[in-house]
């Protein structure tokens, strides 16, 4: 507990940690939309990395909402809080900040999302301290049936490739698979995941 107290009171990330606790409390106290996701990154030769992330949206009114996101991997984790603005029902933009493992500097995030009937597009970016400490994610999806969605994803630290998604309505669960080529690491990998609405 002493280490936790030092983190909250002394580190630059302490302010963001307090904000995260505040919004997590608000989510428990009042209804919000949330999703828990577990996925694995597989490589040839048997290399495997599990990832767990959690995100939620707390509506403020028709136009504004709070988005929170947390992710943990074997050697790294982060927690982000954003404010989202939706000028129409088909477009939303967000910006926020948070903390990341082993850094006293804030981590920034911004995103753009749009939908048209059954097609969606997401552009998301994150920036931490250092020249190479950034992430991008682009999703272009089309929902072909009530259960099946197919698209393409470009995702730093994951790769570029097709993304297959199957909804299991009774369980409020999406199963997904993404074979990809990681442009930075220069090798292929396969991601398999489960997303559960909670």
pLDDT tens for 7-48 read 444 444 455 555 555 555 555 555 578 999 999 999 988 899
Give the pLDDT of residue 186. 93
Chain center to CA of 181:
20
Q: Which residue shows structure tokens 């947390």?
A: 70
* pTM for the model: 0.84
Task: Give the helix/strand (H/E) hosting 29.
Answer: helix 14-29
| Rounded CA separation 163/148 (Å) | 11
Give the pLDDT of residue 110. 98
Give the pLDDT of residue 102. 85
Ordered by where they begin, the domains of the chain are: 2-197 (2.40.160.40)
Q: Determine the Cα angle at 128 with ends 140 and 153, to 5°.
A: 15
The secondary structure of residue 171, as a DSSP letter, is G
Segments of the chain with pLDDT less than 50: 1-13
Give the pLDDT of residue 45. 85
Residue 164 to residues 46, 143, 180, 190: CA-CA distances in angstroms? 22, 10, 12, 12
| Rounded CA separation 106/100 (Å) | 7
């Amino acid at each position: 507990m002493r280490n936790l107290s030092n983190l909250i009171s002394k580190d630059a990330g302490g302010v963001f940690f307090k904000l995260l606790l505040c919004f997590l409390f608000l989510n428990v106290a009042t209804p919000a939309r949330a999703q828990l996701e577990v996925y694995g990154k597989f490589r040839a030769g048997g290399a495997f990395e599990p990832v767990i992330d959690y995100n939620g949206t707390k509506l403020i009114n028709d136009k504004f909402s709070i988005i929170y996101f947390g992710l943990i991997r074997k050697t790294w984790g982060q927690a982000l809080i954003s404010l989202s603005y939706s000028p129409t029902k088909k477009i939303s933009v967000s910006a926020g900040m948070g903390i990341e493992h082993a850094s006293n500097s804030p981590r920034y995030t911004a995103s753009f999302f749009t939908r048209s009937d059954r097609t969606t597009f997401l552009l998301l970016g994150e920036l931490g301290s250092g020249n190479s400490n950034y992430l991008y994610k682009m999703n272009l999806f089309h929902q072909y049936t009530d259960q099946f969605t197919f698209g393409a994803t470009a995702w730093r630290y994951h790769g570029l490739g097709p993304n297959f998604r199957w909804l299991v309505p009774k369980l409020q669960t999406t199963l997904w698979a993404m074979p990809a080529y990681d442009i930075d690491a220069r090798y292929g990998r396969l991601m398999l995941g489960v997303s559960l609405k909670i």
